[in-house]
Amino acid sequence: MDTLNLETALKNASGLIDQRLGEVLVVPDAPEGRVIEAMKYTLMGGGKRLRAFLCIQTAKLFNVQEANYARVATAIECAHSYSLVHDDLPAMDDDDMRRGRPSLHKAFDEATAILAGDALLTLAFEIMADEKTHPRKAVRLDLISGFSKALGARGMVGGQMFDLMSPELELDAGALTRLQKMKTGALIEFSVDAGCIMGQVPDATRSVLTAYAHDIGLAFQIADDLLDVEACQDDIGKTPGKDEASGKVTFVSLLGLNRAKDQARMLVEQAVGHLEIFGSEADALREAAHYVIIRGH
Ligand code: GRG
């Protein structure tokens, strides 16, 4: 699969998610309709749908039904959107722009953005728990358990706390890796693991895919740090240069531009190496590994 086909495959994943979201996000003609409008603003705001794509492509390796993986991928994108909405709030990263347009609290207001984030997270679990997501209760329970761990205080929320505290901490590469593994890596890892859970695959296969996801998660974060330094606002759709301004340690500030790029490339090669047990059916995952460091936003 070349880059062009990967872009088509990402668009197809987006289409699948948009279709599911259209079904669940019906705006009632009532006061609470505002929060659903706000959720739609965020969910239909032009994200890459990378996590959905990883979930879908992993599930496809194990012949999971589209009706099942489309719902799980949608739940993951809802949770990811919640994290971005809350991250942009004045109390957190305080960013007025996201995906090239006003962030949710700017387009609506702060209270609506907090509520929309809360409702996106709860919608994610509502979708995951529904019996349409998987016929087997045990599989749904495993999905919900893994999802909770990835998102909670030992995963993304914990990573965000760690990140907010980081200007006062003197982070070395090991500590920064741990922070990013929690903040960004945990949901990326779960996106791949969700495909394994739905496919009910043996532990050995699951471990290989977890190792792949771990490496692309870290490469993704290094690429994000590089974009913050090298890209302009039009490219990344948010305010660049924020890491340096906030005094946060990043892979670029620790390693320098060139070593950070080398490290990202090394992680991508390592990630692709983990997939050697698969044939061409895993080409989309191989392409995705390369894409995380060549993406422009
Ligand atoms: C508020 C609980 C809470 C958590 C926030 C993920 C996160 C934690 C904050 C986002 C901050 C940030 C910019 C992290 C860098 C990596 C990242 C998650 C980028 C955004 O993900 P993309 O590029 O977004 O996949 P799109 O717009 O494509 O969906």
**Tens digit of each residue's pLDDT (9 = 90 or more) over 216-255:** 999 999 999 999 988 776 676 777 777 777 778 999 999 9
pLDDT reading at 205 higher than 70: yes
Distance from the CA of 163 to the center of ligand 1, in angstroms? 12
Spatial separation of the C-alpha atoms in residues 62 and 176, rounded to whole Å: 34
pTM, rounded to two decimals: 0.95
Let me know how long the chain is: 297
Distance from the CA of 29 to the center of ligand 1, in angstroms? 32
Atom from ligand 1 closest to the CA of residue 117: 1
What is the tens place of the pLDDT at every residue in 117-132? 999 999 999 999 999 9
Q: Give a three-class secondary structure readout of 215-240.
A: HHHHHHHHHHHHHHHHCCHHHHCCCC
Give, using CA atoms, the residue closest to atom 17 of ligand 1: 184
CATH architecture of the domain formed by 3-291? Orthogonal Bundle (1.10)
Read off the DSSP letter of residue 247.
T
Q: What share of the chain is helix, strand, coil (3-state, %, to 5)?
A: 75, 0, 25
Spatial separation of the C-alpha atoms in residues 131 and 69, rounded to whole Å: 13
Q: Whose structure tokens read 């500030």?
A: 253
Atom from ligand 1 closest to the CA of residue 87: 1
